[in-house]
Amino acid sequence: MSTIDLDFEEELRPFCQDTALECFNCGTCSAVCPLVNDNFPRRMIRYIQVGARQAILENANELYKCLHCGLCTHTCPRQADPGEIILGLKRFVVENWRRS
């Protein structure tokens, strides 16, 4: 069972831009993503928004499938920069692996 961490978005600030809350989950990023895999990157951004820290760590392998092609960032109507968020989540995961 995952717990909700209300301070998770704050914890991510050293790793990526603080733009996850700009996203309103329109799905444009997922529609253009070449991965077309389980609503990636939309799902990862939603995990940040709801504070599902453990869900990101449990699904970290999904982050490393990202091609960083930039399509998600280019098409985002809110300039949430999903590509940078995914890159920041990778940094976050690596840091957590170092601690464990």
3-44 pLDDT tens trace = 788 888 889 999 988 889 899 999 999 899 887 667 889 999
Burial letters for 11-41: b for 16+ Cβ neighbours within 10 Å, e otherwise? ebeebbeebbeebeeeebbbebbeeeeebbb
Assign 95 a pLDDT band (cuts: 50, 70, 90). very high
What are the tens digits of pLDDT across the range 70-83?
999 999 999 999 99
Radius of gyration of the CA atoms of the chain, in A: 12
Q: Could you tell me the two tokens for 41?
A: 């990157």
Helix (H, G, I), strand (E, B) or coil at 55: helix
Asked whether the beta carbons of 65 and 12 are under 8 A apart, the reply is no
